[in-house]
Chain A
Amino acid sequence: AQTVTQSQPEMSVQEAETVTLSCTYDTSENNYYLFWYKQPPSRQMILVIRQEAYKQQNATENRFSVNFQKAAKSFSLKISDSQLGDTAMYFCAFMTSFQGGSEKLVFGKGTKLTVNP
Chain B
Amino acid sequence: NAGVMQNPRHLVRRRGQEARLRCSPMKGHSHVYWYRQLPEEGLKFMVYLQKENIIDESGMPKERFSAEFPKEGPSILRIQQVVRGDSAAYFCASSRTGLSNQPQHFGDGTRLSIL
Contacts and interface: CB of A to CB of B under 8 A. Distances in A.
Interface of A: 4, 32-33, 35, 37, 42-47, 50, 52, 91, 93, 95, 97-98, 100-110
Contacts of B18: none
Interface residues of B, number: 28
Nearest to A42: B108
Given A33-B101, A95-B100, 9 more contacts: A33-B100, A45-B106, A46-B106, A50-B103, A97-B100, A101-B55, A105-B35, A107-B35, A109-B40
A91 B103 CA distance: 15
Nearest to B91: A45
Given A98-B56, A106-B45, A43 B108 contact: yes
B64 to A, nearest CB: 21
Interface of B: 33, 35, 40-45, 48, 55-56, 58-59, 89, 91, 93, 95, 98-101, 103-106, 108-109, 111
A109 B93 CA distance: 18
A101 B33 CA distance: 13
Contacts of A32: 100
A46 B99 CA distance: 19
A68 B91 CA distance: 27
Given A43-B108, A45-B91, A102-B48, A108 B55 contact: no
Nearest to A112: B40
20 contacts: A32-B100, A33-B101, A37-B106, A43-B89, A43-B108, A45-B43, A98-B58, A101-B99, A102-B48, A102-B98, A103-B98, A105-B35, A105-B93, A105-B104, A106-B45, A107-B42, A107-B44, A109-B40, A110-B41, A110-B42
B75 to A, nearest CB: 15
A50 B104 CA distance: 11
Nearest to B98: A103
Given A91-B43, A109-B42, A110-B42, A104 B48 contact: yes
A60 B91 CA distance: 26
